[in-house]
Chain A
Amino acid sequence: MTATAEAAVKPRTVVLAAAFALAAVVLALVSLSLGTTKLPLDEVLRALVGGGDSGTRLIVVELRMPRVATGLLVGIAFAVSGALLQTLSRNPLASPDIIGVNSGASAAAVGVIVLAGTGGGNISGAAEQIGLPLAAVLGGLLATLIVGLLSIQRGVVDASKVVLIGVGVAAAANSLVAWLLVIGDVTDAGRAAAWLAGSLNARTWSDAVPVGLAVALLLPVAMMFGRELEALVLGDDVASSLGVRVSRVRLALLVVATVLAAMATAGAGPIAFVALVAPQVAQRLARTDRPPLLTTAMLGALFVTLADLVARNGLQVLQVGPYELPVGVVTAAAGAPYLLHLIGRQQKGR
């Protein structure tokens, strides 16, 4: 029986979290060493602690580090967002990409890129650094709000409707995105399209820092709700008999999940399937009855870093050419079959 409201931390989840974190760091170091200029790992390490020659430091700390850091952080943010949504809705298919958060954030962010774009592919500093993340967060929140309100039947949010209505809202937001791409200048449209694919290309610290702040503030908040999440898994009635204020907790965690997903989308575009896959894999490996938050977070960081490594170097290794793929293509190629597998299992379970 796991039916206690105690948020007992299993040693297995801690070991897994540490292993994923270690693997993510190692891959991040590998990622720092690869590129047009290949650097040995010891030079990378030396540059990170402030040593080595200034050229190496420039490449590692100024050019490659922001990209790698953004990848780690958006991985954490998407994964935790997915874990929260899946726990809250008790549905393994609920994730910000499926229920419209990412589409809402995308529509708003593409709106900023296209409408504030100068036509030269660049938007002015304020619009880019404040406008884009802010728009993405508001767009994501708005989409969640719409999905939530429309899913209310007889006074309660009908969990079975959330996913389907999310699909509908996402479709509407996507047609808005297609229209924005058309009315924009071709260079802005290209920038928006690259962003939409989910890319870590040419990230700077101004991309990484907002996501980092969101993670630093909201991951602890989510972890503080461990006991409530544990109770919610058992059902609303049990949870409220255990003293959990179900609707208030649900609302608070829904906001946390939405802001995390929207901030991550603002930082790196709507990278597909991380939020869906990471919690499910972490839950299975940890053998828990809900996605363990910290393990999921570390797995998300590992997943995105690995996918970006493949996206950057995959085509070169296959000798197709000097191209880089957007990271979202790799996560989609890995994540979509997994989603299909989940749907198949859920149908068999009926």
Chain B
Amino acid sequence: MWAVRRVSRPVALILVATVVVLTFAASLALGSRWLGLGAVGHALLSPDGTDADVIVRSLRLPRTVVALVIGVCLGIAGALMQGHTRNALAEPGIFGVSAGAALAVVLGLQVGLVETVGSTVWCALIGALVATFAVQRLASRGSGATPVGLALTGAAVAAMLGALTSAIVLLDANTLDGYRFWAVGSVAGRGFDVVGQVLPFALIGLLLAAVNARDLDLLALGDDVAAGLGLSVRRARLVGLLAIGLLTAAGVAACGPIGFLGLLSGHVARRIFGARNAWLIPAAGLTGAAALILADLVGRLVGGAGEVQAGVVLGIVGAPLFVVVVRRRAVAL
């Protein structure tokens, strides 16, 4: 692949991590009121209740931490999906996974199962896993999954699940108001409690992703070769699928269906770090974190009185990227 590797991978990883730190700092400092780094440091280290302290600690820090954690989750989920499906277009938003999670969350809301984000996670998890599995199975009929087949199958499944979701939302007017804010994908108003509730799922997902990274390198050689080298292909796929489901569910439950983040992170990371998954996957996580923090920050800055949600910013940036990928014919990994 066309990795641009002028610097060694460790140096590149440190550079990406530096970008994450810089966007994190910028997210704390900038907003409708611009604060200096001194004020931010004051708020973090020795708060004494000034306005700036309150803004940083109770408004900007929580959402930035949420963006960091969820960005890592969705970035890694995207890279894993691209690896397992061998499809450059793979990403939860396009593949109907988010739609599955959304339907499950709305069903949960409807029957009164969901009251807290904690229970949202379970619904989102089940919905995301079922949808991942269904799309993969449906698209693999015949001669196996082609990029076009996967994208279209995802679109078809998403359309059907979306119609069911909207039917439920419309029958129960109370659900609509909560749902529309959730559906746009945003980190605004999400705090440490949200992070705490999704963290166990995220951590298990990250652990599985780490275990899966080496197996994914073998799978990239083809299922037969991987099996010949002693890998249990079925188990590796299952672990990968579980990791994708857990990470997506954590992200979707906390912030709603944020599209295109996985696509973006996977491609940027692959461009810089090449195809080795031990590098690619952590790099995609860091890229995802930087992208989500940045999208949230941009949405806050351009919105004026209101704000543009991070999910919308990423949709508007991500769709052109999708088009570039499609036009380049770099569709197969």
Interface residues of A (CB under 8 A from B): 93, 97-98, 150, 153, 160-161, 163-165, 167-172, 174-176, 178-179, 181-183, 186, 189-190, 193-194, 196-197, 272-273, 323, 325-326, 328-329, 332-333, 336-337, 339-340, 343-348, 350
Find out whether the CB atom of A197 lies under 8 angstroms from the CB atom of B177: no
Given contacts A165-B323, A336-B160, whether A175 and B259 have CB atoms under 8 Å apart is: yes
Shortest Cβ distance from A347 into B: residue? B142
Contact of A197 among B148, B170, B180, B326 (CB under 8 A): B170
Given contacts A179-B309, A340-B138, whether A167 and B155 have CB atoms under 8 Å apart is: yes
**How far is the CB of A179 from the nearest CB of chain B, in Å?**
4
Find out whether the CB atom of A350 lies under 8 angstroms from the CB atom of B166: no
Find out whether the CB atom of B326 lies under 8 angstroms from the CB atom of A97: no
Q: Given the complex, which residues of B lie within 8 Å of A326, measured CB to CB? A: 166-167, 170
Contact of A340 among B93, B153, B170 (CB under 8 A): B153
Considering the complex, which residues of chain B in the window 144-199 have a beta carbon less than 8 Å from any beta carbon of chain A? 144, 146, 148-149, 151-153, 155-157, 159-160, 162-164, 166-167, 169-171, 173, 176-177, 180-181, 183-185
Given contacts A97-B159, A182-B180, A332-B163, whether A167 and B94 have CB atoms under 8 Å apart is: yes
Interface centre among A153, A169, A197 (most CB of B within 10 A): A197
Find out whether the CB atom of A190 lies under 8 angstroms from the CB atom of B176: yes
Find out whether the CB atom of B163 lies under 8 angstroms from the CB atom of A340: no
Find out whether the CB atom of B163 lies under 8 angstroms from the CB atom of A272: yes
Given contacts A175-B311, A190-B176, whether A169 and B167 have CB atoms under 8 Å apart is: no
Complex: A178 Cα to B255 Cα, angstroms: 14
Complex: A181 Cα to B169 Cα, angstroms: 13
**How far is the CB of B260 from the nearest CB of chain A, in Å?**
7
Shortest Cβ distance from A190 into B: residue? B176
The dominant DSSP class at the B interface is helix
Find out whether the CB atom of A197 lies under 8 angstroms from the CB atom of B184: no
Find out whether the CB atom of B157 lies under 8 angstroms from the CB atom of A336: yes
Complex: A15 Cα to B55 Cα, angstroms: 72
Shortest Cβ distance from B169 into A: residue? A193
Interface string of B301-333 (1 = CB under 8 A from A): 000001011011011101110110011000000
Find out whether the CB atom of B171 lies under 8 angstroms from the CB atom of A174: no
Find out whether the CB atom of A189 lies under 8 angstroms from the CB atom of B180: yes
B6 contacts A by Cβ under 8 Å: no
Q: Given the complex, which residues of A lie within 8 Å of B311, measured CB to CB? A: 175, 178
Given contacts A176-B312, A179-B312, whether A329 and B167 have CB atoms under 8 Å apart is: yes
**How far is the CB of B154 from the nearest CB of chain A, in Å?**
9
**How far is the CB of B135 from the nearest CB of chain A, in Å?**
10
Q: Given the complex, which residues of A lie within 8 Å of B157, measured CB to CB? A: 336, 340
B143 contacts A by Cβ under 8 Å: yes
Given contacts A167-B94, A194-B170, A348-B141, whether A174 and B315 have CB atoms under 8 Å apart is: yes
Find out whether the CB atom of A348 lies under 8 angstroms from the CB atom of B170: no
Interface string of B75-118 (1 = CB under 8 A from A): 00000000000000100011000000000000000000000000
Offer 11 A-B interface pairs, CB within 8 angstroms, sorted by A: A169-B319, A171-B93, A171-B260, A182-B184, A186-B176, A197-B167, A323-B171, A332-B162, A333-B160, A337-B160, A340-B157
Given contacts A171-B94, A175-B259, A325-B167, whether A343 and B309 have CB atoms under 8 Å apart is: no
B139 contacts A by Cβ under 8 Å: yes
Complex: A160 Cα to B326 Cα, angstroms: 10
Find out whether the CB atom of B152 lies under 8 angstroms from the CB atom of A93: yes
Q: Given the complex, which residues of B lie within 8 Å of A328, measured CB to CB? A: 163, 166
Given contacts A325-B167, A343-B149, whether A193 and B327 have CB atoms under 8 Å apart is: no
Find out whether the CB atom of B152 lies under 8 angstroms from the CB atom of A98: yes
**How far is the CB of B255 from the nearest CB of chain A, in Å?**
13
Q: Given the complex, which residues of B lie within 8 Å of A339, measured CB to CB? A: 152, 156, 159
**8 A-B pairs with the lowest CB-CB distances in the bound complex, closest first:** A175-B315, A172-B319, A332-B163, A336-B160, A348-B142, A168-B322, A347-B142, A179-B312
Shortest Cβ distance from B156 into A: residue? A339
Q: Given the complex, which residues of A lie within 8 Å of B164, measured CB to CB? A: 329, 332-333
Q: Given the complex, which residues of A lie within 8 Å of B308, measured CB to CB? A: 179
Find out whether the CB atom of A193 lies under 8 angstroms from the CB atom of B170: yes
Shortest Cβ distance from A98 into B: residue? B155
Find out whether the CB atom of B163 lies under 8 angstroms from the CB atom of A193: no
Q: Given the complex, which residues of A lie within 8 Å of B180, measured CB to CB? A: 178, 181-182, 189, 193
Given contacts A169-B323, A329-B166, whether A344 and B171 have CB atoms under 8 Å apart is: no
**How far is the CB of A308 from the nearest CB of chain B, in Å?**
14
Complex: A144 Cα to B327 Cα, angstroms: 17
Q: Given the complex, which residues of A lie within 8 Å of B163, measured CB to CB? A: 197, 272, 328-329, 332-333, 336
Shortest Cβ distance from B146 into A: residue? A347
Contact of A171 among B170, B322, B327 (CB under 8 A): B322
Complex: A176 Cα to B312 Cα, angstroms: 7
Contact of A161 among B143, B160, B306, B327 (CB under 8 A): B327
**How far is the CB of A153 from the nearest CB of chain B, in Å?**
7
**How far is the CB of B247 from the nearest CB of chain A, in Å?**
20
Contact of B141 among A150, A163, A167, A344 (CB under 8 A): A344
Given contacts A168-B322, A193-B166, A343-B153, whether A272 and B184 have CB atoms under 8 Å apart is: no
Find out whether the CB atom of B327 lies under 8 angstroms from the CB atom of A183: no
Considering the complex, which residues of chain B in the window 257-273 have a beta carbon less than 8 Å from any beta carbon of chain A? 259-260
Contact of B176 among A175, A189, A272 (CB under 8 A): A189
Shortest Cβ distance from A153 into B: residue? B327
Q: Given the complex, which residues of B lie within 8 Å of A167, measured CB to CB? A: 94, 151-152, 155, 322
Q: Given the complex, which residues of B lie within 8 Å of A179, measured CB to CB? A: 184, 308-309, 312
Contact of A165 among B94, B166, B327 (CB under 8 A): B327
- Additional A-B contacts beyond A170-B155, A348-B143 (8; CB < 8 A): A160-B148, A167-B322, A175-B314, A178-B311, A272-B159, A332-B163, A339-B152, A340-B138
Contact of A168 among B144, B312, B326 (CB under 8 A): B326
Complex: A176 Cα to B309 Cα, angstroms: 10
Shortest Cβ distance from A179 into B: residue? B312
Complex: A272 Cα to B158 Cα, angstroms: 12
Find out whether the CB atom of B159 lies under 8 angstroms from the CB atom of A168: no
Interface centre among B162, B260, B308, B311 (most CB of A within 10 A): B162
Considering the complex, which residues of chain B in the window 227-283 have a beta carbon less than 8 Å from any beta carbon of chain A? 259-260
**How far is the CB of A187 from the nearest CB of chain B, in Å?**
10
